[in-house]
Amino acid sequence: MSSAWKTYQQEHQERFLNEMMDLLRIPSISAKSEYKADMIRCAEAVQKSLRAAGCTRAEVMPTAGYPVVYGERIIDPTKPTVLVYGHYDVQPPEPLELWHSGPFEPVIKDGKVFARGSADDKGQFYMHVKALEVMDKTNSLCTNIKFLIEGEEEVGSPNLAAFVAANKSLLKADVILISDSAMLSLENPSLDTGVRGLSYIEVEVTGANRDLHSGTYGGAVANPITILAQMIASCHDENNHITIPGFYDDVVEASVDERALINRAPFDEKEYMRELGIQALWGEKGYSTYERTGIRPTIEVNGIWGGYTGEGAKTVLPSKAYAKISARLVPNQSSEKITEKLLQYFQSKAPAGVMVKASLHHGGEPYMTPIDSKGYKAAAKAIETTFGKTPIPVRGGGSIPICSILEKELGIKIVFMGFGLDNDNLHSPNEKYNLENYFKGIETIPYFHKYFAES
Amino acid sequence: MSSAWKTYQQEHQERFLNEMMDLLRIPSISAKSEYKADMIRCAEAVQKSLRAAGCTRAEVMPTAGYPVVYGERIIDPTKPTVLVYGHYDVQPPEPLELWHSGPFEPVIKDGKVFARGSADDKGQFYMHVKALEVMDKTNSLCTNIKFLIEGEEEVGSPNLAAFVAANKSLLKADVILISDSAMLSLENPSLDTGVRGLSYIEVEVTGANRDLHSGTYGGAVANPITILAQMIASCHDENNHITIPGFYDDVVEASVDERALINRAPFDEKEYMRELGIQALWGEKGYSTYERTGIRPTIEVNGIWGGYTGEGAKTVLPSKAYAKISARLVPNQSSEKITEKLLQYFQSKAPAGVMVKASLHHGGEPYMTPIDSKGYKAAAKAIETTFGKTPIPVRGGGSIPICSILEKELGIKIVFMGFGLDNDNLHSPNEKYNLENYFKGIETIPYFHKYFAES
């Protein structure tokens, strides 16, 4: 069977790539309302591709926001069903000036395809579409397959919970399979055992009711940038431990064994720094890099702005300053509780001379998956088959807010089988996806279905 | 003589206003290179207006940057000469969305003309042009008058020192008169006895060589926004005292008498706060508001930016963060020394995980003028004549970087006779100049010349 898969894939390799690139040409930016038409166009393209790949049902289904694309291929209701989750929306491409080629004009260079969404997540969910085609055309489908491809992951999946709750029987399955994360490397394949949760807020600090002359008023009226900087600075202590009251209350400390396992994953500190162009690492004292990005919660400022930011100099004491700030959460922190603490913190830290408005963008719960489940074992075996190595279980640093809701609503576990790499420039200029990873993913996925069906 | 002045002014009031508004229509923004043609057009308009008002010589004179407009009316070389300094360039108008009307489409509302440059400084230096016309047409000129109207005040007068040094005999005068500041109110006229100095720098903090995914790397790689916020926050202690080493070293502490004088100026704290829309004042502990803006040095962040600042949310750990930061200086701080300390501070505070580039935009020395000079006395007497009140001597919070150079090169004192108000929205949206102040200025200036000639 496996040789038939390989032969089919090799014969259609060029088309598999071109189809993925066509999808990358659609600027499906969910955060920006002016891309609405492109979002719909992208959903329709995904639907078409599902049908072409062998889905007997493929629909663009409405939500209160951007639609969900649903597809299914049921071969036998008594066989196990795999639900593939992915998302067709992408992050905004800014800052545009740092891209070496257009974010929505995919180019191939050095064996990588460069475009927004190439790794996150179009290139990755499309591996599953093509894996279906491979299995279908080689008459080797051994599970039922369902696809749930949403359009609002990058804005926190605000409408997916309601969609899932309303379509429980449609989405009924035995396991959820997600390729929206990374592995350590092709040489050291890994499987994520969880994702961090998220609380994403925006803070607006207002001083005077208008911009002021910094000479006339400077020193006598609170500067909202200074105040905001003070609030941000005080989020971490000198050990980069977060100081927000109660922030760590619900954190389940990783066990000695788990920390040892995490730190057994190969990590070349020099190469890590060289690749990022930094002279030193940074982070919470007492934890390694993988621990800092895996088992520890963090707070990052994602954006800040206020005052005069143009060419030259302007001596202004601004009226307003803003920041976008997000926390990554670990078990058993609750996104709702942490959001509350963050909002409370920023609102209460302000001196009387300014007003603070802090509001939630979106959030999501942390999620952990067991490594002794049928799904995880099938994924590990599939990786072993095509990579020749047992995958290392690692904690992913990113967030897929919908995970905990999917498990709760559908009552099944999630398996994270990501084929990206940490240096894919997710959410950054020059996002890329290695062609080798793309094709290796299409090669590996059918084995997951095979082993899951057999287990 | 005074009744002839008043009659002439009243007869030509409408034209005096229209001419000033024509000048306001030219977007002479020195900070932005795309306004170069408008800058030249503005210089030529000023030249034309000087000639029309009675200057026998009026020239647009080149510098290494934007030209200086020079004008003169010499009635008798043995009579005293007043050199009027002003500037035809204006601050950038951003943020545009906060303007109620176009920044370069002056409108009159509630007795005020709203436009960028109306008070700073086109409307104010133009009072001197019209005062010349009034005296000329009523045959009552009693001093020689020279005009030095530059085009780079808002970017720190980088080329004026060289111009003044090269044109000492052309600019030879007995006093320098500047209307580029404010008075307390028409009910409480005041004269500034000094301006603060300035050190304006820009700081660029770089972390990783590209924007990163805040989940994958968050917690393990220094966030330049967080680091910049920490550096800004640590500039002030809990008493809002500046912590930068050596910052206060050269400050001449104001005497008990001088502080008493400053605090005698009428100040309605409630009205001040109400007008600014704030609930509390802010500033260095142990000093009053007028002291904070007059005799104390300050540090303000004029702008900050980094990461994602668009609509919605983006979970990015940015590569870069920037701030524009300026200090206001008091006697005897040196702009050069303070700039050095600021640059050093920001460069040295950075942890090893980031790189900091800090550079100077521009600077200028603080300047004090004696209140027992002939010029100050003539100004005080002129104000007494038209306002019926002795002006209160106050320290101005703003900066006119060229003051110390003018005095040094020309060997004469400066008199600050500003007719603006603190709430003119200088450097802010909806800059305005009260028509009453404009006309009161034109009425008062001829008396200055009269009393200065008589002294």
Give B420's contacts in chain A (Cβ within 8 Å). none
Residue of A223, A236, A302, A399 to mutate when probing chain B, most B C-beta within 10 A: A302
pLDDT band at A16; cut points 50, 70, 90: very high
Which top CATH class is B197-251+297-364? alpha beta
Count CB atoms within 10 A of the CB of residue A251.
16
- Beta strands A392-394 and A190-192 are parallel
Mean pLDDT for chain B overall: 95
Domain B2-195+367-454 has CATH 3.40.630.10: yes
> pLDDT, tens digit, for every residue of B106-132?
999 999 999 999 999 999 999 999 999
Residues 72 to 131 of A: which have CB under 8 A from any B CB? 91-92, 94-95, 98
With a pLDDT cut of 90, the percent of chain A lying above it is: 90
Residue A116 has pLDDT above 90, yes or no: yes
Confidence check: pLDDT of B420 > 80: yes
pLDDT reading at B27 higher than 70: yes
Inform me whether the C-beta atom of residue B213 falls under 8 Å from chain A C-beta atoms: yes
Q: Count how many pairs of residues, chain A against chain B, have C-beta atoms within 8 Å.
A: 378
pLDDT of residue B265: 86
Q: Name the residue facing A276 among B154, B209, B316 (closest C-beta).
A: B209
Query: What's residue B344's pLDDT?
Result: 97
pTM: 0.88
Which residues between 341 and 380 in chain B have a beta carbon less than 8 angstroms from any beta carbon of chain A? Answer: 351-355, 361-362
Contacts of A195 in chain B (CB under 8 A): 215
A217 reaches B (C-beta below 8 A)? yes
DSSP one-letter string for B142-201: -SEEEEEEES-GGGT-TTHHHHHHHTTTTT--SEEEE--SEES-SSS-EEE-EE-EEEEE
Between chains, do A313 and B277 touch, taking CB under 8 Å as contact? no
CB contact under 8 A, A324 and B318: no
Distances (CA, A) of A138 to A3, A76, A124, A143, A453: 10, 17, 22, 14, 17
Residue type, A378: A
| CA-based nearest residue in chain A for residue B307 | A303
Instruction: pLDDT band for B188, please (50, 70, 90 cuts).
Output: very high
Among A31, A298, A422, select the one facing B218 at the smallest CB separation.
A298
Contact B216 A426 (CB under 8 A): yes
pLDDT value for A392:
92
Q: What is the rounded CA–CA span in Å between residue B406 and residue B408?
A: 5
The answer, yes or no, to whether residue B442 has pLDDT greater than 70, is yes
Q: Which residues from B are below 8 Å from A312, CB to CB?
A: 30-32, 92, 155, 361
Secondary element (H or E) of residue A206? strand A197-206
Closest Cα in chain A, distance from residue B203 (Å): 12
With CA atoms as reference, report the closest residue to B106 among B409, B438, B454, B449: B438
Rounded CA-CA distance B171/B109 in Å is 39
Residue A261 has a pLDDT of: 84
Nearest CB partner across the interface for A230, out of B233, B297, B314:
B233
Let me know: does A47 contact A26? Beta carbons within 8 Å.
Answer: no
pLDDT in tens, B259-272: 998 898 889 999 99
A264: pLDDT confidence band, cut at 50, 70 and 90?
confident
Residue A18 distance to chain B (closest CA, Å):
26
Give the model's confidence band at B399: pLDDT under 50 very low, under 70 low, under 90 confident, else very high: confident
Please provide the average confidence, as pLDDT, over all residues in chain A.
95
A199/B contact by beta carbon, under 8 A: no
Q: What is the pLDDT of residue A400?
A: 87
| pLDDT tens digits, B306-355 | 999 998 888 999 999 999 999 999 999 999 999 999 999 999 998 999 99
Is the pLDDT assigned to residue A421 strictly greater than 80?
yes
CA distance A321 to B305: 10
Per-residue pLDDT, averaged over B133-142, amounts to 97
Task: Please state, as a whole number, how many other Cβ atoms lie within 10 Å of the Cβ of residue A44.
Answer: 14
- Of the pLDDT bands very low, low, confident and very high (cuts 50, 70, 90), residue B401 is confident
| Residue numbers of A between 11 and 40 with CB closer than 8 Å to B | 30-33
Distance to chain B for A263, nearest Cα, Å = 14
- Identify the pLDDT of residue A64: 97
Question: What's the average model confidence in pLDDT over B286-312?
Answer: 95
Output DSSP code: residue A63.
-
Output the CA–CA distances (angstroms, integers) from residue A203 to A200, A445, B70, in the order listed.
10, 43, 49
Q: Of B396 and B375, which is predicted with more confidence?
A: B375
Whether A373 contacts A413, CB under 8 Å: yes
Mean pLDDT score, A271-281: 96
Contact assignment for B398 to A228 by CB distance below 8 Å: no
Average pLDDT on A50-60 reads 98
- Cβ-based neighbour number of residue A384 at 10 Å: 16
Q: Is the pLDDT of residue B410 over 90?
A: yes
What's the CA gap between A264 and A230, in Å, rounded? 38
Q: Is the pLDDT of residue B1 over 90?
A: no
CA distance A227 to chain B (A): 8
In contact, B324 and A223? CB cutoff 8 Å: no
Closest of A343, A379, A381 to residue A360, by C-alpha: A343
DSSP state of A347: H
Q: Please name which of B318, B224, B317, B216 lies closest in space to residue A293, comparing C-alpha atoms.
A: B216
Q: For testing the chain B interface, which of A278, A430, A433 should be mutated: the one with the most B CBs within 10 Å?
A: A278
Q: Where are the domains of chain B?
A: 2-195+367-454, 197-251+297-364
On whether any CB of chain B is under 8 Å from the CB of A263, the answer is no
pLDDT of residue A1: 58
Region class of B39: left (phi > 0), else alpha (psi between -120 and 50), else beta: alpha
A323 Cβ partners below 8 Å, 6+ apart?
Answer: A202, A203, A228, A232, A301, A303, A304, A305, B225
